[in-house]
Amino acid sequence: MAIQHLNCNLMELKFSDGTGEDQVDSKEMKFSGYGAVFGNVDSYGDAIQKGAFRETLKEIKKTGIWPSLLLQHGGWSGTAEDMTPIGIISDMGEDDTGLKLDAILADIERGRDAYTLMKMSPRPAISGLSIGYIPVEWKRNDNPSQGEAYRTLTKIKLMEVSLVTFPANTEARVLSVKSGLNIKVAERALRDAGFSRSESKAILAHGFKSLDQCDAEVMDELAAHLKRNIAIFSN
pLDDT by residue (tens digit) across 167-217? 666 665 566 776 554 455 566 666 776 777 777 666 655 555 555 555 555
One-letter amino acid at 11 equals M
Burial of 158 (0-12, 13-18, 19+ CB in 10 A): buried
Mean pLDDT, each 10-residue run in order, the chain (235 residues): 57 36 53 89 90 97 96 76 92 94 93 90 84 93 90 95 75 61 58 71 57 53 56 48
- Closest to 163 in 3D by CA, of 123, 121, 122, 113: 113
User: CB of 128 within 8 A of CB of 166?
Assistant: yes
Q: What angle do CA 174, 178, 180 make, to 5 degrees?
A: 170
User: CB of 134 within 8 A of CB of 157?
Assistant: yes
Domain assignments of the chain as residue spans, ordered by start: 4-179, 183-234
29: phi then psi, degrees, rounded to nearest 5: -120, 110
- Report helix, strand or coil for 49: coil
What letter would DSSP give residue 166?
S
Burial of 220 (0-12, 13-18, 19+ CB in 10 A): exposed
- Closest to 128 in 3D by CA, of 81, 46, 54, 70: 70
Is the pTM of the predicted complex or chain greater than 0.75? Answer: no
- Report helix, strand or coil for 4: strand
- Closest to 31 in 3D by CA, of 110, 124, 111, 101: 101
4-179 fold: Serine Protease, Human Cytomegalovirus Protease; Chain A (3.20.16)
